[in-house]
Chains A and B, each alone.
Chain A
């Protein structure tokens, strides 16, 4: 794994004007991605993780107000026109969406959609070559009888197969970065594992860098090298995967971990832990730490004054909490 920086996001903010005011979905997010690594971005719905991914690809709705910087291989992506970005999309950066049933065109055959992914960026290839590549992609993602499957429609596939098709479509042009936005959320648990395997295989074969977005910490544990935890539009913790789980530095991450149902817990009578409350409405963020209202370790006067800056707590491990070190003591 080289240490080249593939993607650098700095002070990214995304907001939408709405009838009731400016809705901020992402605020001051910064991180970087090295070539070949797998980054997991974890957060609940509304945390802004999908928005971040779409901002990288430039496929946010036109009403979005994006500030900050997104540099891919040193090239600034924010502010580029649609035409300029089209070269990046599907070729250098590709994305796999959550629900393949709605993300695939229902009236086009799977084969046509795969061929389209190829055709758009390789107009030099002949019709037969594109078709051959499409079949090759289906084989790569483990779909049996690919020649016959080419002529089938998305609704004729099972959920897992559909998701494989989506993955195949995304790697059609061997992108440098593959973003997987909740690729397993719409699937059964057993199929989830298969899909993650496919992603791993694809990565091993092509050396693609993967950004895996999910709300499921379990998915991240087995797949990611590093993890970003997002809450209410901001990054609250960022760490390599083991320190995140074993040396958790932010109360929110701890809350997420605690709410995972576990088989190895002490008593079976114990209630499932739940972080009380709800994330803040995007048009009405509280001043200061946005998690403070729900945080059992929040202290008035310190946590509600300003947004906590990222504090280094270990090797490449940062957390945005003013009480780093302190709250862990209280927790014991």
Chain B
């Protein structure tokens, strides 16, 4: 775009306000993004209460009170009780442990796998890169939900197999993104300079490429968490995810589906709200990260 387009003036001015992306400035910019900041706090709170459910939950997990049965929210039971008289809030917190853990693990693992493969493909280039792209294309063609369900069902549903299955599908997005980034970085002068002073390929990858990938990875990882949580809840809802006695938000919703039209419909709202809030928070954090790393970028 020429220097004097409709918005070109803003670009002209932005060029003059040169902003380097140092770590400190990154943090500052992220913190300025109030939504992302609030979301981070919310997410941390959620993680604390869920992973610390043993201490935080008002009632122990699975404690039934069959005489009580399902009751709407009250002073003793903030979110009410389910059909077996269990305190719903406590159940949600315990279930959140699994949901969040799966989400985080999947994001972490798929980022690791995706980054490794993507960086290799991008840096080595040639047929290795092409092959990787074809493989990721394949994953795009095969219907994700079907493959996931097949893998989990075939291996036996459990949180571990769920993490495995979700990672097996989730790495492709990160790999593509990382490869694209590495391809563009590879052409830059500082890589040539490093090679010029004799740095080995491995050293170049670790010391030079990876730090520059941090931005893309941060955003990609947050997206991965969000999609993993929703995928797990969908799988569990369909019955191919977490099985009892373990619960996740998705499996709770699967049971709550039957309460549509009854006074106990709140059993449907609450776990879903937890998912909604979690994913929203993660998405906002991802946005904040993206803004912090690329303030002049296109705002989606």
Contact = CB atoms under 8 A, between A and B. Distances in A.
B2 A99 contact: yes
Given A18-B13, A25-B9, A45-B3, 11 more contacts: A16-B10, A16-B13, A18-B17, A23-B13, A25-B12, A50-B4, A64-B9, A98-B2, A181-B4, A282-B16, A283-B13
A196 interface: no
Contacts of A18: 10, 13, 17
A18 B2 CA distance: 20
B202 interface: no
26 contacts: A16-B9, A18-B13, A18-B17, A19-B17, A23-B13, A25-B9, A25-B12, A46-B12, A50-B4, A51-B4, A51-B9, A59-B6, A61-B6, A61-B10, A63-B10, A97-B2, A98-B2, A99-B2, A102-B1, A103-B2, A181-B4, A281-B16, A282-B12, A282-B13, A282-B16, A283-B16
Nearest to B18: A281
B7 interface: yes
A181 to B, nearest CB: 7
Nearest to B3: A45
Please tell me the size bucket of the interface on B: 10 to 19
Contacts of A60: 9
Interface of A: 16, 18-20, 23, 25, 45-46, 50-51, 54, 59-61, 63-64, 97-99, 102-103, 181, 281-283
Contacts of A54: 4
A27 B160 CA distance: 67
A281 B12 CA distance: 10
Given A18-B17, A281-B16, A282-B16, A102 B2 contact: yes
A61 to B, nearest CB: 5
A213 to B, nearest CB: 10
Interface of A is mostly: loop
Contact of B17 (A20, A25, A50, A51): A20
> What 10 pairs between A and B have smallest CB-CB spacing?
A50-B4, A281-B16, A23-B13, A98-B2, A18-B13, A61-B6, A99-B2, A20-B17, A16-B9, A45-B3
Contacts of A63: 10
Contacts of B10: 16, 18, 61, 63
A23 B12 CA distance: 10
A61 B7 contact: yes
Contacts of A99: 2
Contacts of B13: 16, 18, 23, 282-283
B6 A50 contact: no
A54 B10 CA distance: 14
Contacts of B9: 16, 25, 51, 60-61, 64
Contacts of A20: 17
Contacts of B1: 102
A59 B3 CA distance: 14
Contacts of B17: 18-20, 283
A65 to B, nearest CB: 12
Interface in B163-215: none
Interface in B141-167: none
